[in-house]
Structures are given as C-alpha cells and as structure tokens.
Amino acid sequence: MPKVRGGTYTLEDCDADIQNNPLRTPHAVVKHWPELFDQALEIIFAKVKTYSSGQLDLKRKDFGGQFFATKTAPISPTGIERMTPLSGRVPVEWKMRTIGGHGTHATNWQLMIDLDDIPPGIDVNGPDRPHVGYLLTGKGHWTKRVDGHIFIEHVIATRNALGEETTIAAKAFDKPLGEGI
C-alpha cells in the first residue's frame, strides 16, 4: 500500500489522497475550500455507498439536510485565519443517523465526518496529515466499522483545536435513534 504524500500513514482502501501536485498553499485551500470539501464529500459518499452495500446512497445536497454539526472550533491558527472571510468558529464535526434496509436486513447507521489536523508531537492512532475523516458504524444486519481519511493539504479548522466545543445537536446522538434532543 502507498503512503500518503508528506506523511508516514499508509493508505488503506477506505482512504484517498487528493493533494494537488504541486501542493496547494494555505491561501489556495481557503480560496477553493467549498470545492475541495465537496470533492472530499463525494469520495466519502461513494465509499460509504460501497461499504453499506448500497443502503446509504448520499448526495452533496443531503449534507445540508441530514447532517448536524456536533462540534465547532476556531479557524485554524496556521495563517489561514488571516486569509478567510470566515471568522470565529466553524463546524469541524458532523453526524447523521438513519435506518437503511428493511426486515432482517435493517441497519441503524451512523456516519460522522470531521476535519482534523493532528499537531506535531501528539501521539494518536490516526494519520499525521490534514484530512477530512469519516467513521461509518452500523447496528443490526451490518456491524462493521469503517474509519477512513481523505487527505488534503490544509483544513480551515481542526477537531483537535483548543477551544473545541460540542453543540446542542450532539446531545441527540447520545440517545437511541428516533428520540429527539
């Protein structure tokens, strides 16, 4: 398996490296953030469809309606905060839950998507490069767990930031599917 460019992490089937050649500057990432994030989402949604055997067929338009921001963080302290029209806090983690399939093949799905950039010196099991990550879990017919990463040059904020906050919507994900906040 190949390694992610600029890092030591070995790419798995659930990962993708969409870093430009040559690498994008922080300014270019900010300028093209919506398109870059959309590209990462398209890859994640295609992989999720495969791993869920077609039960989860998500499109970009679903991201705004079915996903809830569960964590926010300040714009990253990498110089990006001076180049972006965004200010203050931005979402860095989103979750959605749904039931797919029916009968004995029904599965309670949860999909989490996050922005992450592990600071140097932090010992974690995940990759050491900026990425849009995803975690797909299911209870019922499908019980596998898929943890993947779409590598990019920079993220506008990170889940590992000081000052990360959990949102009110996150409380709904602590309850069984079907119960409100």
Q: Could you tell me if residue 3 is inside a domain?
A: no
> Which are the contacts of 1, defined by CB distance < 8 A and separation ≥ 6?
10, 11, 12
Q: Could you tell me if residue 9 is inside a domain?
A: no
Higher-confidence position of 90 and 38: 38
Q: Could you tell me if residue 67 is inside a domain?
A: yes
Q: Could you tell me if residue 77 is inside a domain?
A: yes
Task: Count structural domains, the chain.
Answer: 1
Highest mean pLDDT among 15-19, 78-82, 137-141, 161-165: 15-19
pLDDT at 162 over 60: no
Domain that holds residue 94: 16-173
pLDDT in tens, 103-138: 877 888 889 999 988 766 666 667 778 899 999 998
Q: Could you tell me if residue 160 is inside a domain?
A: yes
Q: Could you tell me if residue 4 is inside a domain?
A: no
Q: Could you tell me if residue 180 is inside a domain?
A: no
Give pTM, 2 decimals. Answer: 0.82
pLDDT in tens, 27-54: 777 778 888 899 999 999 999 999 988 8
Higher-confidence position of 105 and 171: 105
Structure confidence at residue 180 as a pLDDT band (50, 70, 90): very low
pLDDT at 19 over 60: yes
What are the two backbone dihedrals, phi and then psi, of residue 22, each rounded to the nearest 5 degrees?
-75, 165
Question: 119, 69, 117: which is closest to 95 by C-alpha?
Answer: 69
Rounded CA gap, 152 and 43, in Å?
12
Please report, to the nearest 10 degrees, the dihedral formed by the alpha carbons of residues 132, 110, 99, 96 taken in order: -60
